[in-house]
Amino acid sequence: MNKLSYFFCSLFFLTSISFAQKYQYQETNFPSYDGTKISANCFIPISEKQDQIFPAIIFANSWTGDEHQYKVQAKLFAEKGYIVFSYSSRGWGESEGMVTVAGPKDMKDVSVCLDWLIANTPVDQKNIGVSGISYGSGMALLALAHDSRLKTAVAMSTWGNLATSLYGSETPHFIWSTILLGSGYLTGNMHPMIWENYENLLLHRDIEKTMAWTAERSPSSFIEQINARQTPIYISNNLQDEMFAPNAVVDFFSRLTVPKRLDLNIGIHASAELGGLIGEKNYVWEKAHAWFDYWLKGQKNGIMQEKPVHMVVKNKNIRESFPAWPIPSLRGKTYYLEERPFWEQGSLREELNLENKSNEISSSTFSGLNTGIPVIGAIFEAYTPIKIQTWFPLTDRSSSLVYLSSKLESSLRLRGSGQLNLWVQSKAQKIQLIAHLYDVDESGTGTLITHGPVTLYDLKPNEPRKVKFDLVTTSYDISKGHRLGLGIDTYDLNYAAPSMDYYDIQFFYGEKYPSQMSLPTVEEASPSKIEISRTPLSSLK
């Protein structure tokens, strides 16, 4: 048992003494379909009458976690009359086997856990839910497609498409993938194919094979099965999540035809729900309780009368709600990129300049544009007044391009994923572009709103090519009188570069090559907005 497990066990013991009479607690292990031992624990409410049955929730562990991590929340659910079964997926905690990242063996294990639950507890077989954070959330969504006995799921800090999460726009998420692998090898029993597929992404080899591996582990691959079963789903993710950026999650959510809810919160990966694991008052866990109370116990608590989409505005203390995703009132606002005069800055204009022109930059590891110190910058942005900023006059014009709009005549409310369509050319076959969108004040200081990478491996020398890629989903208000700023360079610490070779890139504009940026905006703030209190930084400890 690792230190984290001891912490949760101690916390559970200290907080549950006065409630012990309400449920029984047991730890167990049992063989899965292939003999692999699965380690688990179970809370069973004490029956008040003969043949009483209870709804149940299955929790799957997070990456590096085990069956003990949910004990505080499990106790709270058990006090309300739920059977709560938490287990360590194979390769984690005291469970045997090897970690295969929510693969076919893991799905069979979920079914075996259900078999154990039905055989050993007074469970209401028509009312069983599944949940988890991060790794456990992906397990939960995939399990819905593989076992029809599960009625609903709550997925926190989840992924929709594993390929997009780890390799969006063919760009390896180097820092977070390294954190995943490093922590996995320290705390779990990793299957060799995980390292092999990680190397494949870094080296851009056997991509078809690796994409097939990720597809088998992506909830989006099983959307038809989930929709056919009409299993209700609550998804909670975080806007600064650099591990599983919200783009793939909101795409998955938009394709669901089941009863559903989406919360996009402030925070990095798993941070918005972390406080609830140690008993702090927590928005996400409050909604998780309400969701299960409605779908598994039939309580009319109003959660299904709330709008299904909720977003925190990144730079304001409000949470807005909307009737659907994509937001029905969404409007696309297009800006055309216009040539930068010598050593100055380019322009973002709402009308296309038909004159065909171009600019050129060189690759470099530092241009003055950035997405902040990996991990730390996103934490500060989410939980402190410290934002990720750059001063536009100091950006290196030889290795980056910056474009500014005119002053905004009214505030601009971004809600969703922006998109870039650029025309580029290079003698190099492999290049990388990092786009940064800024809120620029009168002093020329740009506050990062969002960003997006793209990597190209098959450029034809000196042949213009259209490059299309998305910015990370965001929710941000730009004030009247400020400007939009777009910065483009070739390197970011968060992502693995395709090559360390030096190369030049030419950017084209005009009627023949209309490079442009499209942003999703809403005309007015949501009338149902409510003030929120952000999770204190201390809860991350």
How many angstroms separate the CA atoms of 372 and 449, rounded? Answer: 12
- Positive or negative CA dihedral for 69, 310, 326, 147? positive
Give me the residues paired with residue 412 across strands: 478
> What is the structure's pLDDT at 2?
54
Q: Which fold has domain 3-306?
A: Rossmann fold (3.40.50)
- Whole-angstrom CA distances from 71 to 6, 87, 127, 300, 354 are 11, 11, 21, 26, 63
> What is the structure's pLDDT at 523?
80
> What is the structure's pLDDT at 317?
79
**Closest residue by Cα to residue 405 from 348, 481, 463, 461:** 348
* Contact of 164 with 247, CB cutoff 8 Å: yes
Per-residue pLDDT tens digits for 229-280: 999 999 999 999 988 999 999 999 999 999 999 999 999 999 999 999 999 9
Q: Give residue limits of the domains in the chain.
A: 3-306, 331-522
Task: Locate 119 and state its tokens.
Answer: 């055989």
- Tell me the pairing of strands 483-489 and 412-416: unpaired
How many angstroms separate the CA atoms of 193 and 217, rounded? Answer: 13
* Contact of 70 with 59, CB cutoff 8 Å: yes
Chain-centroid distance, C-alpha 436:
19
How many angstroms separate the CA atoms of 38 and 142, rounded? Answer: 19
> What is the structure's pLDDT at 214?
96
Give me the residues paired with residue 39 across strands: 29
Q: What amino acid occupies position 235? A: I
Task: Locate 14 and state its tokens.
Answer: 């200290």
Q: Please, which residues have CB within 8 angstroms of residue 236's CB and are 6 or more apart in sequence?
A: 154, 155, 156, 157, 262, 263, 265, 272, 273, 284, 287, 288
How many angstroms separate the CA atoms of 372 and 175, rounded? Answer: 12
How many angstroms separate the CA atoms of 452 and 306, rounded? Answer: 32
CA angle 414, 418, 421 (to 5 degrees): 145
**Closest residue by Cα to residue 48 from 122, 120, 116, 119:** 122
How many angstroms separate the CA atoms of 289 and 286, rounded? Answer: 5
CATH number for 331-522 (one of 2.60.120.260, 3.30.70.260, 2.60.120.620, 1.10.10.60): it is 2.60.120.260
How many angstroms separate the CA atoms of 354 and 338, rounded? Answer: 10
Cis preceding-peptide flag for 326 (omega within 30 of 0)? yes
Residue 383: which H helix or E strand, with range? helix 376-383
Strands (E), 113-166: 123-133, 152-156
Task: Locate 407 and state its tokens.
Answer: 């002053």
* Contact of 81 with 54, CB cutoff 8 Å: yes
- Tell me the pairing of strands 357-362 and 389-391: unpaired
**CA-atom Rg of the chain in angstroms:** 24
DSSP state of 242: S
> What is the structure's pLDDT at 107?
98
How many C-beta atoms surround the C-beta of residue 73 within 10 A?
23
Q: What is the pLDDT along the chain (541 residues), one digit of tens a residue?
A: 554 554 445 444 444 443 445 899 999 999 999 999 999 999 999 998 888 999 999 999 999 999 999 999 999 999 999 999 999 999 999 999 999 999 999 999 999 999 999 999 999 999 999 999 999 999 999 999 999 999 999 999 999 999 998 899 999 999 999 999 999 999 999 999 999 999 999 999 999 999 999 999 999 999 999 999 999 999 999 999 988 999 999 999 999 999 999 999 999 999 999 999 999 999 999 999 999 999 999 999 999 999 999 999 998 879 999 999 999 989 989 999 999 987 789 999 999 999 999 999 999 989 999 999 999 999 999 999 999 999 999 999 999 999 999 999 999 999 999 999 999 999 999 999 999 999 999 999 999 999 999 999 999 998 999 999 999 999 999 999 999 999 999 999 999 999 889 999 999 999 999 999 999 999 865 555 554 443 333 333 3
What phi and psi values does residue 203 have, to the nearest 5 degrees?
A: -95, 0
Confirm whether pTM is higher than 0.85.
yes
Task: Locate 465 and state its tokens.
Answer: 């090519």
- Tell me the pairing of strands 474-478 and 412-416: antiparallel
**Closest residue by Cα to residue 137 from 147, 129, 149, 148:** 129
Residue that is written with structure tokens 């809810």 in the block? 261
CA angle 54, 58, 62 (to 5 degrees): 155
Chain-centroid distance, C-alpha 139:
15
How many C-beta atoms surround the C-beta of residue 96 within 10 A?
17
